[in-house]
């Protein structure tokens, strides 16, 4: 008698880390030879649950150590109240629940939301990670998405063509601690768009098509220099997380040896407790050296592998790359090549980071940053400021964008000489650098023009620092002009529109006598004169 499983096959598609170029996990996809079993599973929660169990068992038979992504419909979780058979199948296979991500698929319409949330909570208690799939192309309500609080959000590949939407979703993910993945990437252009919009993970035919056998090597297009600007505090660890080879803390040395010898790409094994928290770290080279020494196998094979491990080095998933380097710098020098375990807010291991990945990325960011600096003032150019403006707009933040320049700078150069003019520009740059901080960005966009991005509350101290002090070049008195536009959420759509609002304010400031400051608000007519002739008046725009 034939069963529906006789014509069912599974394929594996890699989830790719766009920063490291490595495979972060494998999504298991049902591929029936006949019929539409997924349509049936959408209507039959019991069948959908069985597909999830079969997917895990198939992955185990393929002997993949990579984290797994298993698809389940939202209605299935609400109807079944969780997936106890899936948890049992994972444990029976020798895998750990936190190595499995449950991809919750739409539709959500008519799904009892409270029942769904309770089921998601149950999965989390068992140790599973949660992904919200089909966001953007599906019907998940935003409030429900926030309540689910997924570890991963998956977007359709069409959304990178709308970068503002992806940036907004990235901001939402950052707030909730989730990663952002783009699915269905088929071209290098789509990949570049996804990366520039803030996606950290991706899937699609470009990297590797679904295949019957798990793949560890994928094609990732080279990143364009300066495509993504790293935050001032450095890139975060979550961008560099690689899958971890995990075993329970009770594992024997022979079990660790079997894992390492069967997986030459694994640099070490983390021994974790029942809750997934790292207990010991086993370094590949040191462990195999101990096992291969005289009497090594006889001495250690049946003993706990923890005896040959070291205390794990751990960082939180929100740590920066620089903080990881601080962790590595403390302790024995012979452990500098050890992987660093990355843990979530529950202390569970979500993966590892390798020192080589961090050093390479930090070096590249410094080279790119240096290339963008103005050679006269060593301040970044306009790209650094405009990129931050777009991020603030996507995050729904209020900000003030200011343009500062020297009045009649050509006359200064002609009268005092270009050397005196250059020294004046350097002096203004130093004054602005003195005000710069994590919340104040300063850029030198060429000649005597500077951009300053900050919160509106800091405008008065900024103006005082550059306008209420005497300036001179070659003994000749010089004045500066400052123009500011305050942008509230919804008043501008991107940095270009903010710059367009700022341009007439700059002209108004230049028209005033002496040191001047004009302030306007995006979307509103008129401006306020804060410094210069006619101060404290409002003029029509």
Condensed to tens digits (0 to 9), the pLDDT of residues 26-81 reads 999 988 766 788 889 899 999 999 999 999 998 888 867 788 999 999 999 999 98
CA dist 526 and 528 (Å) reads 7
Segment 87-104, tens digit of pLDDT: 999 988 888 888 899 999
CA dist 155 and 157 (Å) reads 6
Phi, psi of 201 (to 5 degrees): -130, 160
Residue holding tokens 């290098």? 188
Top pLDDT among 536 and 157 is at: 157
Confidence (pLDDT) at 73: 95
Residue 483 pLDDT class (50, 70, 90 cuts): very high
- What is the number of helices (H) and of strands (E) in the chain? 18, 23
Predicted TM-score (pTM) of the model is 0.62
Residue 278 pLDDT class (50, 70, 90 cuts): very high
Of 322-336, 422-436, 445-459, the range with the highest mean pLDDT is 445-459
Q: Do residues 409 and 481 lie in contact, with contact meaning Cβ atoms separated by under 8 Å?
A: no
Segment 242-267, tens digit of pLDDT: 888 898 999 988 888 888 887 888 88
CA dist 13 and 29 (Å) reads 8
In sequence order, the 6+-apart residues with CB closer than 8 A to the CB of 464 are none
From the list 166, 175, 218, the residue with the least C-alpha distance to 25 is 218
Question: Is residue 225 over pLDDT 80?
Answer: no
Q: What integer is the mean pLDDT of 301-317? A: 85
Q: What integer is the mean pLDDT of 394-414? A: 87
Q: Percentage of residues in the chain with pLDDT exceeding 90?
A: 30
3-state secondary structure of 277: coil
Q: Do residues 134 and 105 lie in contact, with contact meaning Cβ atoms separated by under 8 Å?
A: yes
Q: What integer is the mean pLDDT of 349-362? A: 79
Question: Is residue 270 over pLDDT 90?
Answer: yes
Confidence (pLDDT) at 15: 93
Q: What integer is the mean pLDDT of 285-303? A: 72
DSSP category for residue 431: H
Question: Is residue 125 over pLDDT 60?
Answer: yes
């Amino acid at each position: 008698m034939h069963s529906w499983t006789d014509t069912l096959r599974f394929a594996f598609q890699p989830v790719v880390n766009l920063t490291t170029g490595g495979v972060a996990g494998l999504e298991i996809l049902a591929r029936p030879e006949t019929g539409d079993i997924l349509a049936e599973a959408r209507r039959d929660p019991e069948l959908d649950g069985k597909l999830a169990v079969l997917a895990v068992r198939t992955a185990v038979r393929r002997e993949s150590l990579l984290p797994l992504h298993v698809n389940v419909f939202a209605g299935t979780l609400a109807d079944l109240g969780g997936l106890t058979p899936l948890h049992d199948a994972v444990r029976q296979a020798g895998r750990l629940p936190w190595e499995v991500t449950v991809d919750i698929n739409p539709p959500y319409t008519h799904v009892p939301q409270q029942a769904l949330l309770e089921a998601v909570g149950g999965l989390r208690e068992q140790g599973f990670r949660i992904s919200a799939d089909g966001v953007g192309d599906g019907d998940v309500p935003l409030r429900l998405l926030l309540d689910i609080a997924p570890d991963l959000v998956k977007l359709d590949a069409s959304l990178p063509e709308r970068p503002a939407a992806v940036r907004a979703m990235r901001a939402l993910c950052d707030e909730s601690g989730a990663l952002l993945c783009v699915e269905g990437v088929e071209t290098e252009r789509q990949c570049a768009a996804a990366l520039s919009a803030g996606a950290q993970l991706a899937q699609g035919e470009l990297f590797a098509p679904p295949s019957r056998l798990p793949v560890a090597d994928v094609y990732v297009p080279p990143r364009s220099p300066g495509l993504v600007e790293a935050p001032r505090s450095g890139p975060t660890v979550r961008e560099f997380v690689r899958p971890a080879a995990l075993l329970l803390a009770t594992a024997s040395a022979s079990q660790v040896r079997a894992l390492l010898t069967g997986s030459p790409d694994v640099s070490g094994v983390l021994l974790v407790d029942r809750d997934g928290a790292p207990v010991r770290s086993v370094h590949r080279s040191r462990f195999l050296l101990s096992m291969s020494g005289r009497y090594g196998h006889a001495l250690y094979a049946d003993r706990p592998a923890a005896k040959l491990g070291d205390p794990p080095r751990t960082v939180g998933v929100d740590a920066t790359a620089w903080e990881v380097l601080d962790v590595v710098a403390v302790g024995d020098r012979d452990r500098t090549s050890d992987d660093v375990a990355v843990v979530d807010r529950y202390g569970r291991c979500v993966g590892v980071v390798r020192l080589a990945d961090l050093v390479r990325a930090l070096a590249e960011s410094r080279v790119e940053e240096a290339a963008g600096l103005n050679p006269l003032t060593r301040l970044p150019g306009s790209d650094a400021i405009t990129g931050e403006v777009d991020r603030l707009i996507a995050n729904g933040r209020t900000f003030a964008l200011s343009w500062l320049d020297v009045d009649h700078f050509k006359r200064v150069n002609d009268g005092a000489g270009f050397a005196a003019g250059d020294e004046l520009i350097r002096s203004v740059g130093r004054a602005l650098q003195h005000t710069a901080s994590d919340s104040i960005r300063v850029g030198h966009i060429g000649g005597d023009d500077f951009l300053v991005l900050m919160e509106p509350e800091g405008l008065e101290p900024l103006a005082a620092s550059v306008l209420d002090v005497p300036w001179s070049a070659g003994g000749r008195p010089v004045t500066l002009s400052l123009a500011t536009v305050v942008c509230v959420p919804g008043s501008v759509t991107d940095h270009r529109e903010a710059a367009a609002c700022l341009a007439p304010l700059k002209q108004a400031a230049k028209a005033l006598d002496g040191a001047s400051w004009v302030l306007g608000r995006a979307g509103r007519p008129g401006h306020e004169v804060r410094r210069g002739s006619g101060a404290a008046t409002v003029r029509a725009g």
